Amino acid sequence: MGAIATFASVALLVAPSFAQTYTNCNPTLRTDCPADSALGRTVSIDLTSASDSFTPQGTTTYGSDGVSFTVSKSGDAPQLTSKWYIMFGKVEVVMKAAPGTGIVSSFVMQSDDLDEIDWEWLGADGAEVQTNYFGKGQTTTYNRGAFHADAGSQTTFTTYAIEWTSTQIVWSINGVTVRTLQPANADNQYPQTPMQIKFGAWSGGDPANAPGTIQWAGGQTDYSKGPFTMVVKSLQVADYSTGSTYSYGDQSGLWTSIKSNGGTINNGGSSVIVNPPAVTATASGQPIPFTPTETSVYVQPSVYPWIPGTTIATSTAAQPTYANYPGLPSGWTVSNSGKVVPPSAAPVINIPTRFLYAIFCSLTGVIYWRF
C-alpha cells in the first residue's frame, strides 16, 4: 500500500514543464521563430529577493538594498533577463550604478529582431548616464547615443524610466524627461517589436576587448580596485498590450504586423512631448549592438551591451535554449509582484483505491487480486 500511495502521489502531482523556446532566431530573417511570451499587464517587482520573472546569468546576490551585480574579475557579467516580453509600455527601475573605470552598468530592452532601447552607465564617470537605441541591429551610424547629467548615480538610488509607444520613446530620471525620440527622427530605425528586459554589469574595459569598446567604456579596467557592484532595488513594468503571446505576422519588423494571442496590440501611452530637452551626441567609435549571425560560425564580439560567452556555432535550424529567451508556456501567468504562476490546479479527482491498485499491478507485474 505504501507503493500505491507513492504511485498515486506522483500521478496526481505532476506539474507542467516549461516549454523550450529559441535563441538566435530573428523573425525578420526566418519564419520558424516561436511566439514571445507576453507580460500583458502591470507588475511591481521587489528585488530584495529573487524573482522568478527573470532568468539569471552569472552570480547575482540579494539583500535589503536589492539585487547586486558584481564584477570582480575578467569575464564577470552577471545579469537578469525577463521571461516575458512587452509590446509598448513603460518600465521604471530603481537602482545604483557600479563605479570603476571600464565598468558598464546596463539596462536594456531588446527584441528578437534586435530593436533596442537602453540606459548605460559608465563607471568612470558617476555624474552622467548614456541613452541609446538601435533598430534591427543596424549600425549604419554611431550618432544615436546621448549623455545626460546624472549626479550621484553610483551613490544614490535613482528612478530611471523608459516609456515606449508607436509615436515616441521618453527617457526620464526621477520623473524628469531627459530625452525623447519620434519615428520621424530615427532614420528608419525606430524600435517597435516585442521586447525583453535585460540588466546587469560587465567590464567594457576588459583588456581582452576591442580597442573601440575599451575607449567607449572610459578606459581599461583595473580589477585590483574592485569589486565593482551595480544594485537594483525594484522594477515596475507596464505592458500596454495584452494577451498571452506576441508573434510576428510577417518579416517586416513593423509594429503593425505584430499579433497578440488572446489580447490586443495597444500603441498608446502619453501624448508626444512637443519641446523635448536638447541632447549631446556621443563621440564616434562607440561599440555596435550585438548582432548574432544566423547561418555561420562566429565569435560574439565583446561589445555593446553585453560581454559575450565562448565561440559558438549556429545553423539554419533554430536552436533550443532555456537561457537567453526563456519565455513562459501557454497558460502560465505573472502576478502583480512578478511571480510566475502556473495554470490553475486541475480539480481533484477521487480515484478509487482498487483502480490505483490495478494500475500499480499492471506497471509492476504484480498479480492483480480483486477486492
Q: How far does Cα 283 stand from its chain's mean position?
A: 27
Dist CA 150 CA 144 (whole Å): 19
CB-based burial label for 128 (10 Å; 0-12, 13-18, 19+)? middle
Dist CA 220 CA 56 (whole Å): 26
Among the options 92, 120, 128, 163, which is catalytic?
120
Question: In 3D, which of 88, 111, 113, 93 has the Cα closest to residue 169?
Answer: 88
Amino acid at 216: W
Between β-strands 176-181 and 169-173, what pairing exists: parallel, antiparallel or unpaired? antiparallel
Q: In degrees to the nearest 10, what's the CA dihedral of 238, 239, 242, 245?
A: -130
Active site residue 120: yes
Dist CA 162 CA 172 (whole Å): 7
Dist CA 172 CA 341 (whole Å): 31
Active site residue 92: no
Where does 188-303 have alpha helices with state H?
Answer: 211-216
Helix (H) or strand (E) holding 248: strand 245-248
CB of 191 closer than 8 Å to CB of 134: yes
Among the options 92, 116, 128, 163, which is catalytic?
116
* Cell (9 digits) for 32: 520558424
Dist CA 71 CA 203 (whole Å): 7
CB-based burial label for 42 (10 Å; 0-12, 13-18, 19+)? middle
Query: What residues act catalytically?
Result: 116, 120
